[in-house]
Structure 1
């Protein structure tokens, strides 16, 4: 599984690079703030929302600490998606939130 640090993701966003972010935290957690442009698909609903994820793109998966996003990344990889796990999750995120 490919991984990326929070700093690397932040730099990509600051440089206006095309980044697809999927936040797999639960809705209540995301309400406290998420990375701009991130789409919330809770881990508990991921298997039911596969049709909402573009298989032709690479997606960076985000959660609170990096554990659930790792689970989600492994699951999506097993279904043929191209994904990167953001190590450290929102606990280590120092960039803007919305």
Structure 2
């Protein structure tokens, strides 16, 4: 895990989503919570442990599936996959698709 990169992500703008303001206000804290939990993990955290944090985040975002349109979906997934790459999860695996609801 690249803790410095993750901390830099958090302090240099952090979560910046595009789309409808109300949805962004609901989803941003969920992703910020993911970042905090990732930073709290030990440096040598296992991939299943890391993926479990992403799973919880995405399942929480699923609660807003009715409000998520294309622009929000792309923005959310871009941040999720960026964070995944920072912590060593290959974005090409499309890991978020496994838990993403109908959005």
TM-score of the superposition, structure 2-length normalised?
Answer: 0.32
TM-score of the superposition, structure 1-length normalised?
Answer: 0.33
Query: In terms of Rg, which structure is larger?
Result: 2
| Larger strand percent | 1
